[in-house]
Amino acid sequence: MEEAECPSLSLQGERFSHWPVRGTRVWIPDCLEVWKSAELTRSYEEGDGVLHLRLEDGSESTYPLDLRCPQLPFLRNPDYLSGENDLVALSYLHEPAVLHTLRARFLETNTVYTYCGIILVAINPYKQLPIYEEPVIYAYSGQNMGDMDPHIFAVAEDAYKQMNDENQSLIISGESGAGKTASAKYAMRYFALVGGSLGDSSMEEKVLASSPIMEAFGNAKTTRNDNSSRFGKYVEICFSHEYRIVGAAMKTYLLEKSRLTFQAKAERNYHIFYQLCASAALPEFQGLGLGGAESFHYTNQGQCTHLEATDDAADLESTRNAFSLLGVHESSQLELFSILTSVLHLGNIRLRAKDRHGESCFTEPDDQALGLFCTLLGVEKSQVSRWLCYRKLVTASETYVKPMSRQQALNSRDALAKHVYGQLFKWIVSRINKALRASCRQQASIGILDIYGFETFTVNSFEQFCINYANEKLQQHFNLHVFKLEQEEYMKEEIPWTFIDFYDNQPCIDLIEAKLGILDLLNEECKMPKGSDVSWAQKLYDRHLHHSPHFQKPKMSTDAFIVHHFAGKVEYQCGGFLEKNQDTVHAELIGLLRASKVSPRPSQRGRRLAADSAEEGGRRVSPEVHPHPVPGWGLSQLLETGLFLPAQNRLADRTPAGPCQLLVDTAHLFPVHLPFSCSPVQLDELHIPDSVNLTFLTRV
């Protein structure tokens, strides 16, 4: 079959009414710089197989064209639009235009914020900037977004104003190291200051005090971020009818408990452990058996126990002050630190094989770590020693004790450590929520969502699957709000409009959460007496291979699967999915912990994580909540300041349906809503001259 002829030159599917002429400036692909600027030295004539170009360094080059359907390279915007603070104002909005604008603003004016219609794009500079002090907050308070430079405070102020009509939310998304946690803290600080009580400021102080605590227990150093949040967090700040803060509530999602027992090279465990080790000499910590972080298995695997720009001892003081501000008594804090230290000692317990086959193991009677663990938790040493190496099996007719191999015992020890820490984390969240409980009836609220960015590594497991599932749901909500509902509103108002065909990730979500989807089959496999990761993988192949375009089986593999997410395809290794989903600890060890007189005592977890994830993901976001998206990009993977490395930031390669396409698509929406009763007088008050074409208006 012959291909249809292409009657004219095209750009991204759009036809041009004239051929490009000499002097036209374009962007051409480059393997090092990603995009290079060039200028046509000859006018294009029909039938030409190449475009003749001059690069900015003066060298000559050519750009080959497909004669069957020649496409012009991306056109470059005029120089006067370079550094524009709203991408919607660009004449041409595409990947090189986005990158060039962000680069110009970042390197030439040290500007980290840029608008794109309703979206605020944030770049992490990896250094402190003097743009978050109180005078800056007061400067943005009461202002319209278009009156001030792009800033997280401008988005926060817009949400604060619109709270009068409906509840608001800030959705902060981005990859690891993009600065999501910092953005969330700046937004909370803004609301605490502008929505503070006229007299008593204790509630605002408590809201802010929750941040250092959650960072201590939920953040860790990774290869891309020295203060990476390893859990998802949604904070709802409650306001009175006078729009003063009266309380707050926090929900968390998927703490990365696997980090507790394993850290990759150059990474660390949670900050709180290093804070404790750095403060081992304090009088109140004598008797805990604390030492340097390098002396504990759970804190030294990444061989990175110290950070140059971090004072762990000072950070512990901040953590303790925050606890005190939230009403956690000193004695309760010391008890909490005692339990945390016991977890470190648990990781140092030596388990030795009894024979060369390794089918059974034992602990040394004089194991110092075992003794300290039992002393700190108030449990019997003999019982802990026994049930670390044995497990009780119950059948219909009898109960018997079976020895565990050394590896099984190590897995059981690590599972216990993760369980204890997970329960402590939940206890801390509950204490924070108790301290932040609204003191009177709330009138409105603003939510701040700070969640993991999309993740893909060399080896991806259960944690990455849950994180990426959450991001699929977040992307769906964003699509619904930004594209579908917005355009449906245009149709209702009978505005002439051509519907934008945006990426719909519902099929991928159905693959994950629908009946007989990935999560459903995982939960069913966990119920099987002899369920296994391999058996589950085979059921996935049988059900979804050749049936779902978003599911794929890797070549030469029977224990992995590929999901085509909105941000690209990810290969997941099935090994460990069932164990992590069940998240169980042997009942005998749980029984020992329940007998402990130390509080808080861990309890048995009776639900599967995949069931929790599906339930959380399946909850619809209330349409009464108006979101304000704040995507963040960490543009330097070297964690150095002042760098903008284009070769690491080809947006299309990293996120095919992510930030760049989202920015391009939103540029086609109307950037401003006017009420039905809007009169010429009101337009004049808005400083909109009659000659302005509203479709090009970027801010009001």
Least confident of 39-43, 272-276, 469-473, 644-648: 644-648
- DSSP code of 568? E
pLDDT: which is higher, 271 or 47: 271
Task: Kindly report the number of other CB atoms within 10 A of residue 148's CB atom.
Answer: 16
Tokens of 156: 């926060």
Report the distance separating Cα 39 and Cα 28, nearest Å.
Answer: 10
Q: Pairing relation of β-strands 34-40 and 50-55? A: antiparallel
Contact 164, 677 (CB under 8 A): no
Rounded to an integer, the average pLDDT of 17-25 is 77
Q: Is the pLDDT of residue 301 over 90?
A: yes
- For residues 538-566, average pLDDT: 95
pLDDT digits 0-9 by tens, 601-620: 544 444 454 555 555 544 43
What confidence score (pLDDT) does residue 626 get?
64
Sequence-distant (6+) residues with CB within 8 A of 459 are 573
3-class SS of residue 66: coil
Residue 691 or 132, more confident:
132
Q: What is the pLDDT of residue 684?
A: 53
DSSP 8-state secondary structure symbol assigned to residue 460: B
| Helical segments of 514-647, H only | 518-527, 533-544, 577-582, 587-595, 609-618
Q: Is the pLDDT of residue 165 over 60?
A: yes
678 falls in which pLDDT band (50, 70, 90)?
very low
Stronger pLDDT, 309 or 498, i.e. the higher one = 309
CA-closest candidate to residue 111, choices 93, 90, 129, 98: 129
* Residue 177 annotated to the active site: yes
Helical (H) or strand (E) element with 120: strand 119-123
Which of the residue ranges 146-150, 330-334, 498-502, 651-655 would you say has the lowest mean pLDDT?
651-655
3-state secondary structure of 618: helix
Tokens of 465: 């699957």
Task: List pLDDT tens digits, range 394-429.
Answer: 877 788 899 999 999 999 999 999 999 999 999 999
Domain range annotation of the chain:
10-72, 77-161+635-669, 462-618
Integer Cα distance of 57 and 71 in angstroms: 24
Q: Is the pLDDT of residue 655 over 60?
A: no
Q: Which amino acid is at 24?
A: T
CB-side neighbour CA atoms (13 Å) of 184: 31
Q: Which of 77, 114, 173, 228 is catalytic?
A: 228
Residues flagged as binding site: 174-181
Fold of 462-618: Methane Monooxygenase Hydroxylase; Chain G, domain 1 (1.20.58)
Residue of 85, 114, 173, 181 marked active site: 181
* Mean pLDDT of the 497-508 span: 80
- CATH assignment of 77-161+635-669? 3.40.850.10
What residue type is assigned to position 10 of the chain? S
pLDDT for residue 9 is more than 50:
no
The string over 607-618, giving b where at least 16 C-beta atoms fall within 10 Å of a residue's C-beta and e elsewhere, is ebbbebbbebbe
Q: Active site residue: 83, 146, 177, 447, which one?
A: 177
For residue 269, pLDDT over 80 is answered with yes
Q: Has 225 been annotated as catalytic?
A: yes
The span from the CA of 471 to the CA of 477, in Å, is: 10
b/e sequence 138-147, b meaning 16+ C-beta within 10 Å: eebeeeebbe
Q: 671 or 94: whose pLDDT is higher?
A: 94
Q: Is 229 labeled as catalytic in the residue annotation?
A: yes
Q: Say whether pLDDT at 173 is over 90.
A: no
Choose the most confident range, by mean pLDDT, from 4-8, 15-19, 100-104.
100-104
**CB atoms near residue 153 (< 10 Å):** 27
Which range (310-324, 464-478, 650-664) has the least confidence? 650-664
Instruction: Assign 182 to helix, strand or coil.
Output: helix
pLDDT at 676 over 50: no
Residue 639 predicted with pLDDT over 90: no
* Amino acid present at 26: V
pLDDT of residue 200: 55
Q: What percent of the chain has pLDDT over 70?
A: 81
Where does residue 592 rank: exposed (0-12), middle (13-18), buried (19+ CB within 10 A)? buried
Is residue 185 within 8 A of residue 122, CB to CB? The reply is no
Percentage, residues of the chain above pLDDT 90 = 56
181 is a catalytic site residue: yes
Residue located via tokens 């980090």: 259
pLDDT at 669: 59
pLDDT confidence band for 622 (50 / 70 / 90): very low
Whether 212 shows a pLDDT value over 70: the answer reads yes
Q: Say what the pLDDT of residue 483 is.
A: 73
pLDDT at position 185: 93
Q: How far apart, in whole angstroms, are the C-alpha atoms of residue 84 and residue 81?
A: 5
Catalytic residue (one of 146, 347, 453, 617): 453
Which pLDDT belongs to residue 604?
44
pLDDT band at 324 (very low <50, low <70, confident <90, very high): very high
Closest to 162 (Cα-Cα) out of 521, 445, 353, 578: 445
Lookup: tokens for 335:
């008890």
Is residue 489 part of the annotated active site? The answer reads: no
Of 415, 365, 419, 359, nearest in space to 390 by CA = 359
Q: Are 176 and 468 in contact (CB under 8 A)?
A: no
Q: How high is the pLDDT of residue 369?
A: 97
- Per-residue model confidence (pLDDT) at position 614: 55
Query: Measuring CA to CA, how many Å separate 589 from each of 88, 380, 599, 604?
Result: 59, 11, 16, 10
- Residue 621: per-residue pLDDT: 40
Burial pattern 72-84, b for ≥16 Cβ within 10 A else e, equals bbbbbbeeebbbb
DSSP reduced 3-state for 157 = helix
Average pLDDT value for the chain: 84
In the structure encoding, which two tokens stand for residue 386, read together? 């026994």
- 22-26, 32-36, 224-228, 603-607: range with lowest mean pLDDT: 603-607
* Residue carrying structure tokens 């102020």: 157
Please, what is the angle between helix 180-194 and helix 202-218, to 10°? Answer: 170
Q: Calculate mean pLDDT across residues 627-637.
A: 58
pLDDT at 612: 55
CATH of domain 10-72: 2.30.30
Token pair recorded at residue 505: 């990730």
Q: Residues 167, 169, 173, 176: which is the catalytic one?
A: 176
Higher-pLDDT residue of 668, 91: 91
557-570: average pLDDT: 94
Average pLDDT on 190-201 reads 76
Predicted pLDDT of residue 496: 79
What mean pLDDT do residues 225-252 have? 92
Tokens of 166: 């409906």
DSSP state of 619: S
Question: From the candidates 225, 279, 412, 666, which is the catalytic residue?
Answer: 225
Annotated binding site for ATP: 174-181
Q: Is the pLDDT of residue 439 over 90?
A: no
The kind and range of the H/E element at 335 are: helix 330-347
Q: Of 101, 183, 229, 261, which one is the catalytic site residue?
A: 229
Mean pLDDT for the stretch of residues 677-689: 48
On the question of pLDDT at 353 being above 90, the answer is yes
